[in-house]
Structures are given as structure tokens and as C-alpha cells.
């Protein structure tokens, strides 16, 4: 049974349009409250948000809806998404709500839920919430209305948790690190984590004003980080996205180290130390070079559909602990229950310190195949993937590659885009074929 509102990563869109309105958020809070209040006893739900300006508006609406359903609310304030997952678990809350549109610009916002275990909600719970979204809203008797309080030490609790995922016998002393917090949710937590572990920290993207989240900064725009690393002669740079669940890094030369390479570094470090339990889960977008490098180590690798939800499904099904995406959304289930940019960066740094090697040295064990991706914007929700012209263009590109690469077309789960990806052994050919395929898709959309 398909869902009307929930996508692969919650509910997301442009503020003021569709479901991203105060009225809908009021109803959503009430609907979620009805579902979770039915579990017996007085229930509480945690709400956290990133730094975009609309978060305050939606926080108030969700709070009112939950209270009307008889659920208590704990407000965390600006907090990384994985921090909300962690606190939901440790406070034994029945759920956690994240107000964020992740790496999207400030004009967008969205809602993500975590279960009491700090994981994404199962489908049946999302279906139940959607059932109540279609019902008229009512209010519990006045003596059962939910109460709200702020958790004053949420930041400190999460900082200590992150530090606890770094080996106690290691230190970051002697490392100069540039952090780009994307003017987002990590701005007040990440610097403290790395400083308290001993690093000399230089920061950018730590002055959020509600409008500058992800603006020419963060993991999707690492150019400023690359420049700053070279300027201050740092050992490395770390960039998070707006809600802190993704990370990319920059070596001392200013070269970007993406999610596939970071996943390889963590996997290789654990494998060499005898601590890699099982294999590694990537996605359909993972570079073929990652698969080959793991294969050479004798480490199993499998691909999930794009999206951390699907990576988690594969990890749970196989009993493995490590997986991730090219975007830098890395899951270390032995450390936490969801993708966490700070925790993932610390796992990479642990390998660096333990092996006394620089980031550029650690990445050299994996050779990336040339890969090109072009995003083609959709004007509406048409399904063009099965269009004969698109299918024909895909077959044409595949025949030109002659088994030397692969093609992937997929709709984005968070934006109105078709992602066109071509991978092969010749960078110039890959770029030309990807442009050819993207133009074919654009022609079908225009027609």
C-alpha cells in the first residue's frame, strides 16, 4: 500500500506549498500524537530542528497538535538529526521528530520521525499516521492535554555521546582541522567535539541566520572548505550538511574525499584491525571502484536502493554494521542507530591517528572509476522513467559502453529531479554519454 505523504526520507517540500504549511503540521502533530498516545501511559515525543527560519513556525504547530492529542513534548532546539535520534533513544521517548530539509536550501523544510529505538519509523506506523491525517482533529479533555518543556542540556549530552565513539586511547592532539558546519545544525556541537578531543579547530559556516543554511557551504558545496584548508595549512577539512547526518572531507591538499572513499577508509581500517563484522552495504550510486577495492580485501559488498532507509534495511537483513552512500551518509551501527556526520568523521580520524597516515594516503587504496551525474529538473510528478524514448536512450548508452561501465536513472526521493548517472573507464566518454542521456530525458520532459 503506497503512502500519500511520506517519502523515503519523511515529508519534504517548499515552505508554504503542499504539505509544508503550519496547518498541515498542526494536523501532523495531532495525527502522530494519536498514534503514539495509544501505546498506553503518558507518552512523550522529542522535537528538534535545524537552523532554517521556518523551523520555529513548524515547531510551534507540531507542539500544539501533539498537545491536543495528549502527548507531552520535549523541545531540543537546534540539534543535528542524529543527535535527535540519540536523545530519543536515551530518553525512552516514544518518538522523535526532526524539522529539517537536510541539504536543501532554506526555502524548503520537512519532517522526519524516529522510533523509540532511534531508527526510522516502520511503514505500518507511517500508514497509521496518514490514517489520522485524514480524520477531523479533536482535543483531549483539558486535564489530559500534553505539557511542553525544553531540554536545556541537549547539546552537552550529544557532544559527550559523539566523543564516546572515538577510541579512548587515541587523541586528536597535533591535528589542525577545518570544520564547515553549513550554517546548520552542527554549528554549536561539532566544534566542541573536535576541540575537546584535542584538535586545533578552525571553523566556517558557524553563523546561521535562518537563511544561509547550505548556502555555498557544507558537504554539497565544499569549495569554501577546500580554500580554507589550503589557506591555514590544515591537516584536513570536514564538511557537514545542514542537518548533520552527512559528511565529506578534504585532505591537506584541498582534494575532496567523498562518501565512497570515507566508507572504504573506515572498512579497511576495521578489516585490518579485525573489527569489521560482516560486509559493507553501498547503493546503486556507489562507485564501482569501492566494490573492487573491498573485493580485493575479501570483504563482501552489496548495493541497496539509494536512501539511508534502504541501506539500513540491507544492514539489518544481513546482520552487518557498516554501510553508506556516495553523498557521505554513512551508517556505523556499532556506534549509533542512524547516519551521523560527526561520528562518521571521527571513525575516519581514528584510522588516521591509529595508522599515523594522512587522509590522502588512506584514500589511495581505492581507485575511483570516472562517474558523471546530471540532475534534470521535473516540472511536475510525471513518471518518465518508462518512456520509450528514455528507455531507448539508456540502451544506446549501455551499448556504447560495451560492458565497460554502467548507467543509472532514478528519481530523487527528496527533490523534483531525475538523476542521470553514467560510470565507465574513460572520463571524457563518460561525460559525453551522460550529457547525451540527460538531453534525451530533457527532450521527453519538454515534449
Active-site residue set: 102
On whether the CB atoms of residues 106 and 50 are closer than 8 A, the answer is: no
- Taking the C-alpha atoms of residue 237 and residue 36, their distance in angstroms, rounded to an integer, is 41
Residue with cell 571502484: 289
Residue with cell 489520522: 132
- Taking the C-alpha atoms of residue 11 and residue 100, their distance in angstroms, rounded to an integer, is 10
Q: Which three cell numbers stand for residue 292?
A: 573492487
Radius of gyration from C-alpha coordinates of the chain: 22
- Taking the C-alpha atoms of residue 255 and residue 278, their distance in angstroms, rounded to an integer, is 30
CA distances, 370 to each of 314, 362, 426, 429, 430 (Å) = 26, 19, 7, 9, 7
Question: Max CA-CA distance within the chain?
Answer: 70
Residue with cell 556541537: 189
Closest CA to 50 of 13, 82, 74, 6: 82
On whether the CB atoms of residues 162 and 342 are closer than 8 A, the answer is: yes
Closest CA to 36 of 173, 158, 130, 128: 128
On whether the CB atoms of residues 20 and 108 are closer than 8 A, the answer is: yes
In this structure, the number of other CB atoms found within 10 A of the CB of residue 136 comes to 7
Q: Residues 6 or more apart from 392 whose CB is under 8 A from it?
A: none
- Taking the C-alpha atoms of residue 282 and residue 279, their distance in angstroms, rounded to an integer, is 10
The secondary structure element, H or E, covering residue 26 is: helix 22-37
Amino acid at each position: 500500500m503506497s503512502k500519500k505523504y511520506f517519502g523515503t526520507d519523511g515529508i519534504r517540500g517548499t515552505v508554504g506549498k503542499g504539505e509544508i504549511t503550519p496547518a498541515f503540521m498542526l494536523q501532523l502533530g495531532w495525527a502522530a500524537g494519536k498514534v503514539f498516545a495509544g501505546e498506553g501511559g503518558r507518552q512523550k515525543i522529542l522535537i528538534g530542528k535545524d537552523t532554517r527560519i521556518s523551523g520555529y513556525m513548524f515547531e510551534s504547530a507540531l507542539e500544539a497538535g501533539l498537545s491536543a492529542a495528549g502527548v507531552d513534548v520535549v523541545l531540543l532546539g537546534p540539534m543535528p538529526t542524529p543527535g535527535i535520534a540519540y536523545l530519543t533513544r536515551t530518553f525512552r521517548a516514544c518518538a522523535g521528530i526532526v524539522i529539517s530539509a537536510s541539504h536543501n536550501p532554506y526555502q524548503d523544510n520537512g519532517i522526519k520521525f524516529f522510533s523509540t529505538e532511534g531508527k526510522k519509523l516502520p511503514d505500518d506506523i507511517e500508514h497509521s499516521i496518514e490514517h489520522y491525517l485524514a480524520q477531523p482533529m479533536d482535543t483531549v479533555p483539558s486535564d489530559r492535554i500534553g505539557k511542553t518543556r525544553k531540554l536545556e542540556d541537549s547539546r552537552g549530552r550529544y557532544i559527550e555521546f559523539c566523543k564516546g565513539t572515538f577510541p579512548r586511547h587515541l587523541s586528536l592532539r597535533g591535528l589542525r582541522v577545518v570544520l564547515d558546519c553549513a550554517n546548520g545544525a552542527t554549528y554549536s556541537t561539532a566544534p566542541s567535539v573536535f576541540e575537546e578531543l584535542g584538535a586545533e579547530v578552525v571553523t566556517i559556516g558557524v553563523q546561521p541566520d535562518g537563511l544561509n543554511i547550505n548556502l555555498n557551504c557544507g558537504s554539497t558545496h565544499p569549495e569554501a572548505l577546500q580554500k580554507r584548508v589550503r589557506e591555514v595549512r590544515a591537516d584536513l577539512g570536514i564538511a557537514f550538511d545542514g542537518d548533520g547526518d552527512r559528511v565529506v572531507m578534504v585532505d591537506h591538499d584541498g582534494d575532496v574525499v567523498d562518501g565512497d572513499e570515507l566508507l572504504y577508509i573506515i572498512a579497511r581500517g576495521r578489516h585490518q584491525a579485525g573489527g569489521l563484522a560482516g560486509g559493507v552495504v553501498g547503493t546503486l550510486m556507489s562507485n564501482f571502484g569501492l566494490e573492487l577495492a573491498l573485493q580485493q580485501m575479501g570483504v563482501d559488498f552489496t548495493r541497496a536502493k539509494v536512501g539511508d532507509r534502504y541501506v539500513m534495511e540491507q544492514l539489518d537483513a544481513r546482520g552487518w554494521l557498516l554501510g553508506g552512500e556516495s553523498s557521505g551518509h554513512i551508517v556505523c551501527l556499532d556506534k549509533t542507530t542512524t547516519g551521523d556526520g560527526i561520528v562518521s568523521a571521527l571513525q575516519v580520524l581514528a584510522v588516521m591517528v591509529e595508522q599515523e597516515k594522512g587522509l590522502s594516503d588512506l584514500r589511495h587504496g581505492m581507485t575511483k572509476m570516472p562517474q558523471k551525474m546530471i540532475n534534470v529538473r521535473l516540472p511536475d510528478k510525471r513518471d518518465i522513467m518508462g518512456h520509450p524514448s528514455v528507455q531507448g536512450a539508456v540502451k544506446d548508452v549501455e551499448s556504447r559502453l560495451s560492458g565497460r561501465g554502467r548507467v543509472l536513472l532514478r528519481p530523487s526521493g527528496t527533490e523534483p529531479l531525475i538523476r542521470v548517472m553514467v560510470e565507465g573507464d574513460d572520463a571524457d566518454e563518460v561525460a559525453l554519454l551522460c550529457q547525451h542521456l540527460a538531453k534525451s530525458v530533457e527532450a521527453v520532459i519538454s515534449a
